[in-house]
Amino acid sequence: MNSLRGVETLKGGRAPLMGMKLDLVCMGHILYDVRCYVDHLPKPDKTALIQSPIETSGGGSAANVAVNSAMLGMKAGIIGNVGSDHQGDFLLSNFRKFGVDVSQVKRMRGNSGTAIVVVDKSAEVEVIESVGVTEEKRTVDERYIANARFLHMTGADLELLKKAGQIAKKKGTVALFDPGRSKSREGEGRLAPILKNCDYLFANRSEILLIGGKGDAKETARRLAGEYGVTCVLKAGRDEIFVAGEEEFSLSPPRVNPVDTIGAGDAFSAGFICGLNEGKNLRDCVKMAMWSAVQKIMYRGAQSGISRGWVRKRAGV
């Protein structure tokens, strides 16, 4: 089969897992991360020296959630695009290594999405991204979403996200949406058709204001939760996590010395979904999310360091 004209199957040529019940399907960006570790982030007309060998790995929010969820013991699959280049080969191989189903990853003519990630000694991150083929138009197989317990949507074509949300709503698949910076900038008006089909919304404080307008982040989260019937979870880095919806509460994360914060929000999402999959209550899901993010930032890269046993022990669930 020509991999540029269809859907890449799992290693060994097995058919797509249409008859298999996946715990989670992720939809969004699949990126090839190139990571550089520096003493300080470069300023205009200045040079920052890379302090260790350049590292490469899988990345992209949807890919990170899928891989981290697999590391937490879930059966995960992903809907997305990779290019016809060696980065595409690497990304597919990387998914297989972690046991993520790639039957709905399309190989398209062109370049895979790539991110240049610069991390300073305080673990702060700057990212330069080329989306490549990641947002090229494609179709969604309704059966793939219908056969999953959860659908996690991140940066992707808005019409594709709208369609996926509609399928999830119709088929009873729990839908979670993390628009990230790029899609949050679209604003509430353009995101409303997606939000109305979601059960959970993840955002940080700046993103929630990009979605819902200026003002207080918590009040905006409360309003969006009431308007769309979602549970809104504000991820917060070093600040408190805030949850609005049928339940409302806050949790303060522990203080740790981070190594690399890239992908922390995606680890948070994976931990939360793992909690849902195990039937935990909302507060315990947030605890699992928080400790998943904490463990991730102790390691380099967006797809490393997550351990189900460690997370559950720290979360006390």
CA distance 277 to 167: 20
Domains present along the chain, CATH in parentheses: 18-28+63-79+135-315 (3.40.1190.20)
Structure tokens at 42: 């470069």
Q: Check residue 19 and give its pLDDT.
A: 59
Provide the pLDDT for residue 304: 87
Q: Provide the annotated active-site residues.
A: 266
**Distance, CA of 310 to CA of 317 (rounded, Å):** 11
Supply the pLDDT for residue 2. 32
Instruction: Supply angle C-alpha 187, 29, 14, rounded to 5.
Output: 140
User: With 70 as the cut, is the pLDDT of residue 128 above it?
Assistant: yes
Please give the average per-residue pLDDT across 128-144, as a whole number.
92
Q: State mean pLDDT over 82-108.
A: 97
Q: Whose structure tokens read 């890379």?
A: 50
Mean pLDDT in residue range 66-95? 97
User: Per-residue pLDDT averaged across 24-31, rounded?
Assistant: 97
CA nearest 103: which of 153, 140, 151?
Answer: 140
Can you name the residues that pair with 128 across neighbouring β-strands? 116
Tens of pLDDT, residues 151-199: 999 988 899 999 999 999 999 999 999 999 889 999 999 999 999 999 9
Question: What does the radius of gyration of the chain's CA atoms come to, in whole angstroms?
Answer: 18
User: Global pTM?
Assistant: 0.91
Q: What DSSP state is assigned to residue 4?
A: G
Strand 174-177 relative to strand 148-153, pairing: parallel
pLDDT score for 243:
98
Query: Which burial class, exposed, middle or buried, applies to 313 when counting CB atoms under 10 A from its CB (0-12, 13-18, 19+)?
Result: exposed
Rounded CA separation 88/31 (Å) = 9
Distance of CA 169 to the CA centre of its chain: 20
pLDDT at 14 over 90: no
By C-alpha distance, which of 16, 51, 19, 15 is closest to 35?
A: 51
Higher local confidence (pLDDT), 248 or 48: 248
Q: What distance, in Å, lies between the first and last C-alpha atoms of the chain? A: 46
Q: Length of the chain, please?
A: 317
- Which has more confidence, 55 or 14? 55
Contacts of 177 (CB under 8 A, 6+ apart): 152, 153, 154, 161, 165, 194, 195, 198, 200, 201, 202
Q: Is the pLDDT of residue 6 over 50?
A: no
How confident is the model over 248-307, as pLDDT tens digits?
999 999 999 999 999 999 999 999 999 999 999 999 999 999 999 999 999 999 998 799
- The mean pLDDT of the chain is 91
State how far the Cα of 208 lies from the Cα of 179, in Å rounded to an integer. 10
Residue 5 has pLDDT above 70, yes or no: no
The Cβ-side half-sphere exposure at 137, using a 13 Å CA radius, reads 1
Asked if residue 8 has pLDDT above 70, the reply is no
Q: Are 258 and 123 in contact (CB under 8 A)?
A: yes
